[in-house]
């Protein structure tokens, strides 16, 4: 009887099919965003574009007294250190931090980055950022020993030369990109370590 109804009303069958496919599509999107089944996620916050991408995943730099950021401009780190956190839907084992910048630092200034290891002692595993391309710095982190709270990893950028009072130097950040990697869904199900 139901089949006869759909033969008479093929439009209703198409509408139901479209709704079912839409619901399945939405469920798959949530599955990929929450579980990250491939074990890799990349978050980018680009300060140089009008539309600031990555908002919500990569939080702003703090404390605000160490950062000079006017509306519609890239943040300038004027004092050191600065902190930012990254929300991730799951844990990861490795992170690659890539920072694109414009510099007004004295030649040979050391720029370090680190991830929070212990909130009780404010311990960060600082390491120097490597120059991988002109105006691009990079560092790799092992996140297995890193502290994660409420789905957030906390990172710091430290520039010792900016700790001098009234220094005219600054580091202008144009983009922050973090590539996370960890076990994929298959490895998690069968408990295969990476």
Task: Give me the tens of pLDDT residue by residue for the chain, a chain 194 residues long.
Answer: 556 655 667 777 888 889 999 999 999 998 888 888 899 999 998 887 756 554 568 888 999 898 987 766 789 999 989 999 999 998 999 999 999 998 888 777 889 999 999 999 999 999 999 888 888 999 999 999 999 999 999 999 999 888 777 778 889 999 999 999 999 888 888 887 75
| b (16+ CB within 10 A) / e for 118-146 | eeeeeebbeeebeeeeeebbbbebebeeb
**Domain boundaries 39-189, corresponding CATH code:** 2.60.120
- Give the DSSP letter of residue 104: -
3-state SS class at 68: strand
Pair of tokens at residue 55? 């908002």
Predicted pLDDT of residue 163 = 77
Pair of tokens at residue 78? 């004027």
How close are the terminal C-alpha atoms of the chain, in Å?
55
Predicted pLDDT of residue 158 = 93
3-state SS class at 2: helix
């Amino acid at each position: 009887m139901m089949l006869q109804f759909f033969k008479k009303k093929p439009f209703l069958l198409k509408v139901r099919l479209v709704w079912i496919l839409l619901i399945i599509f939405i469920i798959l999107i949530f599955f990929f965003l929450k579980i990250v089944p491939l074990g890799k996620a990349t978050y980018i916050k680009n300060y140089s574009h009008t539309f600031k991408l990555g908002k919500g995943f990569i939080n702003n730099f703090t404390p605000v007294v160490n950062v000079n950021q006017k509306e519609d401009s890239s943040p300038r780190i004027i004092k050191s250190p600065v902190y930012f956190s990254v929300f991730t839907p799951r844990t990861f084992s490795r992170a690659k931090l890539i920072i694109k910048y414009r510099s007004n630092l004295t030649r040979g200034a050391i720029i370090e980055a680190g991830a929070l290891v212990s909130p009780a002692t404010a311990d960060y595993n600082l390491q120097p950022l490597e120059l991988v391309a002109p105006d691009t710095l990079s560092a790799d982190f092992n996140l297995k020993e890193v502290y994660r709270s409420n789905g957030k990893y906390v990172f710091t950028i430290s520039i010792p030369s900016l700790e001098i009072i009234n220094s005219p130097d600054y580091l202008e950040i144009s983009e922050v990109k973090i590539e996370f990697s960890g076990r994929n869904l298959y490895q998690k199900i069968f408990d295969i370590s990476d």
